[in-house]
C-alpha cells in the first residue's frame, strides 16, 4: 500500500510540473498586456518600461518561468499586479469562500437529488416519476447563469426576499453560518446545486430501480419484512455509489464557477479568475489556475488511493 502511494506520488510530480508549464504558458500566450490594465491609459513609454522591468516582464519567457517556479516551490505565488496584495492571500481567501458555497450547494443538491431519485425509483413510470425525472433533466440541462439571473429577478428584484449579490452584509471577512450570512448564500447555492441535483437524482433513480429488481429484495419481501425494512436495505445498497457521485460533484463545485460567482458577485475563485482575466493580472491568474489545477491533481490522487484502500482488487499500475 505504502509502495503504491509512493508510486502514485512519483507519477504525480511530472503531471504537476506539466500543469505548471501549461498554466504559465496559457497565461502568457493570451493576447493583452498585463500592465495596460493597471497603468493610466496615457502613461508614457518610460513608465511602462519601468513597470515592466519591476515585474520582470522584460526577461525572456523561460527565465520568467524559472523565476516563477522557484518562488512557487517556496510557497510564494507572487504579488498581484492590480492590487499589490500577495496572490497566496487572495487565492486562499477565495478558496475558502468557494468551499463554503460548494459545501452548501452540494448539501442542497444531494438532499434533493437523493429525494427525487428515491421517489422516482420507487414509483417508476408514475406521475411522480415523470415529475421528478423532468426536474432532474431540467437540472442537468438548464444553463445556470440563466437560472441565476431568473432567480435574482424573482426573489431579489421582484419579491425582495433575498439579497442578489455578495457574501454577507459586511463582506466575507467575518463569514459565519448565521441567518444574516446564510441569506446571501441561498440564491447562488441553489443555482449551483441544480446540476449535481439532476445528476444525483438520475443516478439514484437507476440504482434504486436496479436494486428493487434484484432477487434479494424479493427474498426480503418473501420473508415478510416490512416495506420500511426493505427500504432500509435499498438505502444501504445505494449509498456507496450515491456518495461517490456526490464526492465527485463536490470536487467539480470546489473549483468554483466563474459564471455563478460573477452573476452573484460571490468572492470565490471564479470571481477572482474573472477579475484577473479582465485586468490581465498575470501573477494572480497563474496563481489561481495553479492552485485549482493542483487541487484537482491532489483530489485525483486521494480518490485513487482511497479506492485502492477500499477495494484491493483495484491495484493500479
Partner 1 sequence: MNVVLPKLGARAALAGVVLLAATSASLAQGTLRIGMTASDIPLTTGQTDNGGEGMRFMGYTVYDGLINWDLSSATKASDLVPGLAESWTVDANDKTKWVFKLRPGVKFHDGSDFTADAVVWNLDKLLKADAPQYDPRQSAQGKTRIPSVASYKVVDPLTVEIVTKAPDATLPYQIAWVMMSSPAQWEKLGKSWDEFAKHPSGTGPWKLTLFAPRERAEMVPNTAYWDKNRVPKLDKLVLVPLPEANARVAALRSGQVEWIEAPAPDAIASLKGAGFTIVTNAYPHNWTWHLSRVEGSPWNDIRVRKAVNLAIDREGIKELLGGLAIPAKGFMPPGHQWFGKPTFDVKYDPEAAKKLLAEAGYSTAKPLKLKVAISASGSGQMQPLPMNEFVQQNLADVGVQVEYQVVEWNTLINIWRAGAKADISRGVSAINYSYFIQDPFTGFIRHLQCNLAPPNGTNWGYYCDPAMDKLFDQVRNTFDKAEQEKVLQKVHEKYVDDALFVMITHDVNPRAMSPKVKGFVQAQNWFQDFSNITMATASR
Q: Which residues bind partner 1 (CB under 8 A)?
A: 31-33, 36-45, 47-48, 50-51, 54, 82-85, 90, 149, 152-153, 156-158, 160, 162-167, 170-173, 262-265, 267, 271-272, 274-275, 278-280
Q: How many C-beta neighbours within 10 Å does residue 246 have? A: 20
CB nearer to partner 1: pick between 189 and 234: 189
**161/216 with CB nearer partner 1:** 161
Task: Provide the minimum distance between the beta carbon of 236 and partner 1 in the complex, in angstroms, as a whole number.
Answer: 44
Contact 69, 269 (CB under 8 A): no
The nearest distance, CB 267 to partner 1, in angstroms, is: 5
* Minimum CB distance to partner 1, residue 70 (Å): 22
Give the shortest CB-180-to-partner 1 separation in angstroms: 13
Q: How far is CA 201 from CA 145, 194, 223, in A?
A: 21, 10, 30
Nearer to partner 1, 164 or 283 (CB): 164
Closest by CA to 117, choosing from 198, 190, 229, is 198
User: Which long-range contacts does 292-298 make (Cβ < 8 Å, 24+ apart)?
Assistant: 292/255, 292/256, 293/19, 293/22, 293/23, 294/16, 294/19, 295/254, 295/255, 296/251, 296/255, 297/12, 297/15, 297/16, 297/19
Nearer to partner 1, 113 or 168 (CB): 168
Q: Kindly state the smallest distance separating residue 232's Cβ from partner 1, in Å.
A: 44
Nearer to partner 1, 241 or 262 (CB): 262
Measured from the CB of residue 26, what is the shortest distance to partner 1 in angstroms?
16
At 177, list the grid cell. 453560518
Give least dist CB 172 to partner 1, A. 6
Neighbours of 266 (CB within 10 A): 28
* 101 three-class SS: helix
Q: Where are the alpha helices (DSSP H) in the chain?
A: 2-29, 45-54, 61-73, 87-122, 127-141, 144-151, 179-212, 215-222, 227-254, 258-263, 269-278, 282-310
CB atoms within 10 A of CB 277: 16
Nearer to partner 1, 69 or 277 (CB): 277
Q: Which is nearer to partner 1, 22 or 265 (CB)?
A: 265
Amino acid at each position: 500500500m505504502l509502495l503504491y502511494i509512493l508510486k502514485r506520488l512519483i507519477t504525480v510530480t511530472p503531471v504537476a510540473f506539466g500543469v505548471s508549464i501549461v498554466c504559465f504558458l496559457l497565461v502568457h500566450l493570451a493576447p493583452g498586456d498585463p500592465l495596460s490594465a493597471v497603468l493610466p491609459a496615457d502613461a508614457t513609454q518610460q513608465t511602462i518600461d519601468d513597470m515592466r522591468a519591476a515585474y520582470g516582464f522584460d526577461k525572456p519567457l523561460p527565465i520568467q518561468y524559472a523565476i516563477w517556479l522557484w518562488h512557487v516551490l517556496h510557497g510564494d505565488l507572487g504579488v498581484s499586479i492590480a492590487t499589490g496584495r500577495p496572490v497566496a492571500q487572495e487565492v486562499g481567501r477565495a478558496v475558502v469562500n468557494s468551499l463554503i458555497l460548494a459545501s452548501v450547494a452540494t448539501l442542497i443538491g444531494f438532499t434533493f437529488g437523493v429525494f427525487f431519485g428515491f421517489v422516482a425509483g420507487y414509483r417508476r413510470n408514475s406521475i411522480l416519476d415523470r415529475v421528478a425525472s423532468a426536474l432532474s433533466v431540467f437540472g442537468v440541462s438548464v444553463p445556470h447563469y440563466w437560472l441565476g439571473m431568473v432567480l435574482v429577478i424573482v426573489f431579489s428584484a421582484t419579491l425582495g426576499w433575498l439579497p442578489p449579490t455578495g457574501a454577507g452584509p459586511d463582506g466575507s471577512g467575518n463569514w459565519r453560518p448565521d441567518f444574516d450570512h446564510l441569506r446571501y448564500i441561498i440564491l447562488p447555492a441553489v443555482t449551483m446545486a441544480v446540476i449535481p441535483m439532476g445528476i444525483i437524482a438520475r443516478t439514484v433513480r437507476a440504482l434504486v430501480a436496479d436494486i428493487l429488481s434484484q432477487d434479494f429484495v424479493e427474498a426480503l419481501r418473501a420473508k415478510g419484512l416490512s416495506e420500511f425494512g426493505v427500504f432500509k436495505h435499498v438505502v444501504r445498497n445505494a449509498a456507496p455509489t450515491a456518495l461517490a457521485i456526490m464526492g465527485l460533484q463536490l470536487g467539480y463545485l470546489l473549483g468554483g464557477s466563474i459564471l455563478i460567482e460573477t452573476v452573484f458577485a460571490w468572492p470565490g475563485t471564479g470571481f477572482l479568475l474573472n477579475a484577473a482575466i479582465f485586468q490581465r493580472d498575470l501573477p494572480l491568474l497563474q496563481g489561481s489556475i495553479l492552485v485549482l489545477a493542483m487541487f484537482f491533481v491532489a483530489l485525483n490522487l486521494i480518490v485513487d488511493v482511497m479506492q485502492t484502500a477500499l477495494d484491493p482488487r483495484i491495484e493500479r499500475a
